[in-house]
Amino acid sequence: MSSTKYIKEAATFLQQRGFETPEVGIILGTGLGKIVEKMKIESEVSYNHIPNFPTATVEFHKGKLIYGTLEGKKVVVMQGRFHMYEGYSLRDVTFPVRVMHLLGIKRLLVSNASGALNLTFKKGEIMLIDDHINLQGGSPLAFRGVEKMGERFVDMSAPYDAEMNKKLEQIASEKDIKLHKGVYASVVGPQLETRAEYRYLKIIGADAVGMSTVPEIIVANHLKIPVAAVSVLTDECDPDNLKPVDIEDIIASAGKAEPAMITLFTALLKQL
């Protein structure tokens, strides 16, 4: 069975359940599920009911694909995403992006929770991702037959859509939202970084670190879908004053910053 066949099966299943013509796909990260409360929901399906779909195993990821209207746009929202640290391959992690593309999305918005390496950034603030560093040790495009789905050698000179990023910066300034801009490093996890690793990440030019997002961005570029991504900063990664991690505190920080992210995404949708 080819992976194109798997993608088609999943897309057909969703179309039969009312996922008709989404214009925008949205991927929600850890502790960032509340945007769906602003949607007019028309259909929702648990991941474990969608043929060939991976299943979210992280306790604070909901694991649902939701279709409906948000700010006048038809959207398909991933409430909960997949990670390599759950034992998935990079092809599994990015399978939903390919399915959303087949359903018809023209743009993709991505959010994640990440740690601030740039010490001028504070937890509870947000960062627009301008560029990234892939430290996951692989590529979601490194498989036989990838050229049947798009160019094998994907240009990554500007992986994040300049037009959407500019609009997000304008919205932030109009709405008085503090929006940093920086480089996101994606690692495998699930363990958090050592002091030496935080120092290394800063030296190579990362402003924030997390365990997701980059695979989906690579595949969006492969499919020529313009993409924008925002990191919600949930902890401060200062190697000289490192405290043991508190996952509950990370989730609480995500909740604190989430309204700003929702404001950015909903205002952007209005303008698209």
Q: Give residue-wise pLDDT tens across range 230-261.
A: 999 999 999 999 988 888 888 888 888 989 99
Q: Give residue-wise pLDDT tens across range 2-50.
A: 589 999 999 999 999 999 999 999 999 877 788 999 999 999 999 999 9
Report d(CA 30, CA 80) in Å as an integer. Answer: 7
Q: Is the preceding peptide bond at 259 cis, omega within 30 degrees of 0?
A: no
> What is residue 179's three-state secondary structure?
strand
Could you please state the CATH topology (level 3) that the domain comprising 3-271 is classified under.
Rossmann fold (3.40.50)
Q: What local confidence, expressed as pLDDT, does residue 1 receive?
A: 37
List of E strands, the chain: 24-28, 40-46, 64-70, 73-79, 107-116, 126-134, 179-186, 208-210, 227-236
> What is residue 116's three-state secondary structure?
strand
Q: What local confidence, expressed as pLDDT, does residue 55 receive?
A: 74
What are the Cα distances from residue 118, in Å, to 88, 195, 205, 210, 253? 30, 14, 9, 13, 17
Work out the average pLDDT over 220-237.
Answer: 96
Residues 6+ apart with CB under 8 A from 272: 23, 24, 73, 107, 164
What are the Cα distances from residue 137, in Å, to 57, 104, 186, 215? 22, 30, 10, 11
Report d(CA 154, CA 35) in Å as an integer. Answer: 31
